[in-house]
Every structure is written in structure tokens, then in C-alpha cells.
Amino acid sequence: MMSLILATTARGLMPLLLLFSLHLLWRGHHEPGGGFIAGLMTAAALVLQYIAFNAAHVRKCLPVDYRVLIGTGLACSLSTGLMALIYGSAFLEHRFGHFHVLGIGEVELATALAFDIGVYLTVIGVTLLIIATLGDESEAA
Amino acid sequence: MSAHLPILPILWPLATALVLLLVLRRSVAAQRAFSLVSLLGLVAIEVALLLWLSGGEIAVYRLGNWEAPFGILLMADRLSAIMLLLASITAVATLLFAFGDLDERRERMHFYPLFQFLLLGLNGAFLTGDIFNLFVWYEVTLIATYALLTLGSEARQLRAGLPFLALNLTGSTLFLAAAGLIYGATGTLNMAHLSVLTAAADGASAVVVQVATVLLLVVFCFKAALFPLYFWLPDGYPAPPAAISAFFGGVATKVGVYSMMRVFPLVFPEQRALVGEGLMALGAVSMLVGVWGAVCQTEIRRLLSFHIVSQIGYLAFALGLLTEAGVAAAIFYMIHYTLVKCGLFLVAGVMERMTGQNSVKKIGGLMESAPALAALFFVAGLSLAGLPPWSGFFAKIVVVVAGFQQERYLYTGIAVLTGLFTLFSMMKIWHLSFWGEPAGERRPVPRVMYGAVALLVACSVIFAAVFQPVHAFARQTAAQLLAPDNYVRAVLWEGR
């Protein structure tokens, strides 16, 4: 059964939640936040859509196989760690640099962010896969 | 590249699992081929690691180049190298067996990536240098184990899976509590750093360290299925297909034993005597309880599962002596028994596949219809029972000699007696299933399954043939383990 109030709120909250989760992902390098919590927040935003609408709606929001999402996330984190080996330093040793981006100004970019993006994707994939498997029989197996 | 060798056994299966999951997900044939090739590569890496570390070097790998004790580090010595190689060789046989044993439905349910994740967790546990990451790798192993145990979702698997899950969660909670206590009392979880700090602990923190020691002993006993925390094993391990339960039976419980070998001499040098006495007593009871349980069973893989409990008893007893001869005997025994136990589980798998039955009472006369299988069982079964000239004989001899050296006559006597009961239980399988009137159907069995069993039995025969150099190596390993100062130096002072 669909509730009009919940559906309207969920629709309005969706972009806010996603933006805030990206903000958490971005600030995670120096301040509280990071890929894990950001991933949970994005997943929570999608779970809200589940409750407000239905499984098919969430499928439309994120039309990828969650297993692939998990794999992509892990691969992203793993390759970030492996990059260090190419430079001759230890696995997972991170680098950072300051870049000037037109219109924004000085920005610090670190390889730790790429690692965090991997975590972010993995967490979204795992959470949604669990919810989908428990909630929707067509996902099982 | 050799500087990065210690981390490769972790990265390799992870990368393999990702390729299987992302690139090769559509084709089962491609997944099989790639898993096997990758596993052989892993064996090559681990042979290189063993050769490198056999001189007695302790390899330390600082992740992200953070210095110990602040960063996470990996630590590899002879024992880690032995365990890694042992796990991979067993994995090769299991994988080959799985090609024939698993139905395509299970293969499509991500068996191959899950298997790689299981190896990832095991390898991580064999390499980690701190207590918290040992916990993390246990969890990685467990998550893969849960999935593999229930892969295929048969009623029996699910029935075994739920208690297994609940009990392991309890075990993990205790582990986490112990790690928290240790961290609270000493402010570190790095094993080498702990070695220094627990030796110096006094007053209240010494009591906390003692409590944590006992908690860890409970957790490791649970993981290793030592009496009285063994009850989850005989119900859980026979439930999944034979290939999976063979790998569990061969390798998974060894992580608990490995952790005991690693943690107690290194981290708690002051509590050694207490832990040693505890391990010997529990080991002796485990031997008897396990083998008596086995004698009453008729379902082959369940019977073999009870034997795991009794064999773990031998390991705990030998380890509990805490002498060089004792620890060497435990390492030596572990190599023999991983190969043989996994081999026997695979034999059981072939028997079940061929006859469609899983009870010794309903199978008969295999000697005539499957002489090759009978020969393989003959070698592996007598080896498990400890009859010469098979590997188990040498393994039991070194344990018994180590026990007599310490004048532990009662426990050593129990060890000998247990060997006798083991022989009885192997003879029961032989007598009922291989001799006698043919019973049960005869279905074709894929050749590759025989190949997998033969691989393990061959390894055990080679092991028996070269037992002297292997035992010398085990002694060196034990000497290294019992001298924690070397670890402290390697981790905290060298390479700065």
C-alpha cells in the first residue's frame, strides 16, 4: 500500500540524502565521515524508496546488479592499494597532492578518496543485496 | 618483488575472486579454468615464500608503510609459510574434486569466488601480525564459510547452518571482548609489542591480561573444535557437498590451532605454563571423546568429523607440552593430518557419489567394483590410524616421544589408546563398505574426483618418505616459535 505523505517526503528527501552522503564521502579524509558511512547513508536513502514505493521502483533508481556493484567497489579499492606497488612503496600507501581547479580554487586530492569510493560502492551493494534478498523473493539465489 | 611477497597470498585470491565475480560470471567453464590456474599460481608464490623464509628469516610487511606498533603489519615466518602452502595444496585437491562433485546450480551460485574468499581469509589469518586483524580475518573466513556451508540451500544444510552461525557469532563476540580487554590493559594489539608489554604487566592490568588469555584460549578451542566446544562440528561439517566439507575438515579448524601456536608463546610468555596444562588436559579428553563419538557413527562423513575432534586433541596435547619437541610434533602432525583428513573426506565423497548412500551399513563390496578407491582408502585410513609405514605412524611417534620426554605418561597413554580406537573405526569402514556383499548402486564417478584423492594421498606418502627432513624443519619452526625475542626485534626494531 502506498502512502501519499511518505511517497512525497521520500521523493523530496532523496536528493538531499544523496548529496549529504557524497559530502560525507568527500570530507572523510580529514574529518569524521568516509566511504563506509556514506555508503550506508546512500543505501538508507534507497531503502526509504523501498518502503515508500516498491522493489521495482528501486530497481529503476539503481539499475545494476548489486553483485557487480560489490565487485566493482572491491576492485576499485584493491587497485588503489596496488597503485602503490607500481610506485615501489608498500601496499595501501597513499599519496596526495594539491590541485588548482578552475572556479573552485585549491583542492586537495588523495588516493585515499579513490579507496573510499570503492568502500562506498561495496557498502551500497552489500546493503541493498541483503535488503533485496530478504525482501524480494525474485532476488534469492 | 620479494619485498612484497608476504602480501601476495592475500592479494592474489582477492584479485582472483573479483575477476571471477566481474569478468567470468557468465561461464562456469571459464570460472573453473581460471580458479585452477590462479590457485597453481598461488602455490608457486607460497613455495617461493617458504624457500625465502626457510632460512629462519622473519618477514615483516608494513601496510601503507606505517610503522609498528601504530600501523597494521603482516608477519611471516616458517610456520606461516607451512600453513599457507598446506592450505593451498589442499585447496587444489578440493577444487579438482569440486569440478566433478558440484552440480552446475551450485557452481552458478558463486562457488568459485566464495572459495577464493575463503582462501583470502585463511591466508590473512596465517599472516597477520596483530590480534585485532586476526579477528578480522576470522570473520572473513567465517562469512565465506557460512555461504559455502549453506550453498545450495538444502534443508539439512540450513539446519546445520543456523546453529553454526549462532555459535560462531558467540565465539566472535568473545574474541572481540578479549581483544578489547587486552587493548584496555596494554594499549596495543600488535603481537610483538604485546609480547613486551604483557611480560611487564603488573597489578590490575596483569589480572586483566590473565582473563584475556583464558578468553582467547576458549575462543581458539572453539574454532579448533576442542572438547568441550566441539559439538558444532560433527553436525555442521557433513552437511554441505563433499568437496566443501573436505576443505573445512582439512583446513578450517587448523586456523584455531595455528592461532594457539602463534599467540600463546609470543603474546603471553608469562601465562605459558597455565595455558600448556589446560591444552594438554583438554587435548586428552578431546582425543577420547572424539574417537568414541566416531566409533558409534555409521554415516561416513559424520564419522570422519568426529575423528577431527580427536585429531585436534593430539595437536593440543603436543602443543601444550610447550617444549621444542612438543611444538615440533604438533606442526609435524598437523601437516600429516590435514592431507590425510581431507583425503578421507574426498574418499567418502566418491563413495557417496558412486553408491548414492552415505552410511557404511548401506554400502558394501566396493573392493571389487572400485579397487582403485579401495587402495586409496587403505592408505589414507591406515595413515589416519597411525600404522607404519604411512605418514600417520611417524606423526604419532613424534607426539608420543615428545610426551614421554616430559613424563606425561597418562596423556601419552591416552594418545596411544586413541590410535587403537581410530584403527578400529577405520576397520569398520573397510569391513562394512569395501568387503562383503555388494550393496548400494554403482554410478559412474568423474575421473577428476579420483585424481583429487590421489593427489592428497600421494602428498601424504611423499611426506612419509621424507619424514626426516620435514621433521627437522618442524623442529626449526618450533624453535623459532618459542623464541619470541626474535619477533619483537624483527617487528619493533629492524627496518626503521
- Cis bond upstream, residue B446 (ω within 30): no
What pLDDT, in 10s, does the model give residues B413-454?
998 899 888 998 888 888 888 888 887 778 888 888 889 999
Interface contact B63-A85, CB threshold 8 A: no
pLDDT for position B55:
86
Q: Give the residue on B whose Cα is nearest the Cα of A94.
A: B64
Interface contact A74-B11, CB threshold 8 A: no
- Which residue pairs, CB below 8 angstroms and at least 24 apart, start in B403-410? B403/B317, B403/B318, B403/B321, B403/B326, B405/B323, B405/B325, B406/B321, B406/B323, B406/B326, B408/B280, B408/B321, B410/B284
Work out how many domains chain B is built from and give that number: 1
pLDDT for position B109:
85
Q: Cα separations (Å) of B87 from B253, B302, B373?
A: 11, 22, 24
- Closest by Cα among B127, B214, B119, B232 to B170: B232
pLDDT for position A141:
42
Chain B neighbors of A141, CB-CB under 8 A: 109, 153
pLDDT for position A140:
45
B47 interfaces chain A, CB cutoff of 8 Å:
no
What pLDDT, in 10s, does the model give residues B202-258?
778 888 888 888 899 999 998 888 888 888 888 888 888 889 999 998 888 889 999
Interface contact A92-B22, CB threshold 8 A: no
And the C-alpha cell for A136? Answer: 524480494
pLDDT range class, residue B494, cuts 50, 70, 90? confident
Interface contact A71-B61, CB threshold 8 A: no
pLDDT for position A28:
82
Q: Which residues of A touch B (CB under 8 A)?
A: 67-68, 70-72, 74-75, 78, 81-82, 84-85, 89-94, 141
The residue of B5, B8, B11, B16 whose CB has the most chain A CBs within 10 angstroms, and thus the best one to mutate to test that interface, is: B11
| Structural domain boundaries in chain A | 4-140
Q: Give the residue on A whose Cα is nearest the Cα of B62.
A: A90
Interface contact A67-B21, CB threshold 8 A: yes
B64 interfaces chain A, CB cutoff of 8 Å:
yes
pTM to 2 decimal places = 0.91
- Closest by Cα among A57, A52, A62, A35 to A122: A35
List all residues 6 or more positions away from B47 whose beta carbon is below 8 Å from its beta carbon: B85
pLDDT for position A120:
94
And the C-alpha cell for B280? Answer: 594438554
Q: What secondary structure, in 3-state letters, does B222-272 show?
A: HHHCCCCCCCHHHHHCCCCCHHHHHHHHHHHCHHHHHHHHHHHHHHCHHHH
B73: three-class secondary structure by DSSP: strand
Q: How far apart are CA B133 and CA B128, in angstroms?
A: 6
| Range picked from A32-46, B187-201, B265-279 for highest mean pLDDT | A32-46
Give the E-state strand segments of B37-105 in sequence order: 59-62, 73-76
Which parts of chain A have pLDDT scores under 50?
A: 139-141
pLDDT for position A1:
61
Its domain, for residue B18, covers 2-492
pLDDT higher than threshold 70 for residue B496: no
For chain B, the average pLDDT equals: 88
